[in-house]
Amino acid sequence: MGGFSGAVAPVIGGLLVAASWRWVFLVNLPVGIAALVVGWRRLPHVPGHETERPDPLGVILVTAGVALLTFGLTKGSDWGWTSAAIGGSLLGSAVLIGLFVLHCVQGRNPLIHPSLFRSRTFRGASIVAIFFSASFGGMLLSIVLWEQGIWGWSALKSGLAIAPGPIVVPFMAFVAAGRMIARYGPARVIVLGAAAFGAGVAWWALAVEVHPNYVSGLLGGMLLAGIGVGLALPTMMSTASSSLPPSSFATGSAVINMIRQTGFALGIAVLVAVLGTRAVHPRRTRASCVPRRLVGNGRNLLRRDRACARPPAAAAPARTTA
């Protein structure tokens, strides 16, 4: 289901943006209400047991810490990395995340219990998940920015171009990954998936051109990346959860998902920071005019330098003397 959602999401997102960018946010309301109604009527009632609720302080600390870190990375190129606002944002993030870790270690019923990370398998899968998800988020955003900012494609066309990669994911996850795990073990499957994903990213980075070359420059890389995600990500998630005792299975699944989503957000923030911090070239061409920063008012996905939209000025003719 996750792979199918990844395949249709770019297309649906393109349709929503074509109608109005506000629908990207408003669409969550009817979807959420429909999910609540169906869940209330169709999901079976499973009696639980009394347990103490985690301290909400942990939720506040980790949410605020990750938000400040993402904000600082995203706005660093605009406000200056040495500015007081960016320095305060990154410092505040470090303090809040540090307090969250301390709270988890010393708290009576913390949001994330340290005992989860005593499992070597869970700890290793969590580390791999945050880096894999960060690179996955950065890759997706970079492709969208290139298609729309350099190739001039619409949001819908960009979504259709991305779709082949996610379509491969459920096939690899349901058909290939399970058999390969049983034969070679989860570690080798994750390594193979990460290698395929890296090859896909390298394909797109090395083969893409300023002028649209979708088949030779992007399609092959998207298919390789989809194979990699289908092998690595489900194996990573299931291996991390299954390594825990039954009493910690639900909590471990939630933690590994939180780590994955945090890595995805940080990968996007790092990409925006890298695109915004560019070396100043004496002569600009369209190839060097990469998307610089996201627009705050939501009217456009990205903002490019005005020089990118203008043809280079013709050189003044040399004066001749009689």
DSSP bridge partners of 293 = 303
Section 34-50 average pLDDT = 82
Task: Judge whether 258 lies within some domain.
Answer: yes
Closest CA to 204 of 237, 161, 152: 161
- Each residue's pLDDT tens digit, 203-216: 988 998 999 999 99
Q: What is the pLDDT of residue 101?
A: 92
Q: Domain span at residue 105?
A: 55-110
Task: Judge whether 305 lies within some domain.
Answer: no
CB 251, CB 209: distance < 8 Å: no
- Which comes out higher in pLDDT, residue 245 or 278? 245
- Each residue's pLDDT tens digit, 117-135: 888 899 999 999 999 999 9
Say whether both 167 and 262 belong to one domain: yes
Of the three residues 90, 110, 130, the one that is the final residue of a domain is 110
Q: What is the pLDDT of residue 292?
A: 44
CA angle 39, 45, 50 (to 5 degrees): 115
DSSP 115: G
User: Is it the case that residue 293 has pLDDT exceeding 50?
Assistant: no
Closest CA to 209 of 221, 192, 225: 221
Say whether both 117 and 104 belong to one domain: no
Task: Judge whether 231 lies within some domain.
Answer: yes
Say whether both 173 and 255 belong to one domain: yes
Q: What is the pLDDT of residue 100?
A: 93
CATH code for position 183: 1.20.1250.20
Say whether both 262 and 174 belong to one domain: yes
Say whether both 90 and 166 belong to one domain: no
Task: Judge whether 164 lies within some domain.
Answer: yes
Say whether both 180 and 231 belong to one domain: yes
User: Is it the case that residue 18 has pLDDT exceeding 50?
Assistant: yes
Torsions phi, psi for 282 (to 5 deg) = -65, -25
Task: Judge whether 146 lies within some domain.
Answer: yes
Say whether both 90 and 204 belong to one domain: no
User: Is it the case that residue 173 has pLDDT exceeding 90?
Assistant: no
Confidence of residue 63 (pLDDT cuts 50, 70, 90): very high
Average pLDDT, rounded, for the chain: 81
CB 117, CB 111: distance < 8 Å: no
Q: Is the pTM higher than 0.75?
A: yes
Closest CA to 104 of 258, 304, 266: 258
Confidence of residue 96 (pLDDT cuts 50, 70, 90): very high
Say whether both 98 and 15 belong to one domain: no
> What is the count of structural domains for the chain?
2
Q: What is the pLDDT of residue 160?
A: 87
Say whether both 94 and 235 belong to one domain: no
Task: Judge whether 310 lies within some domain.
Answer: no
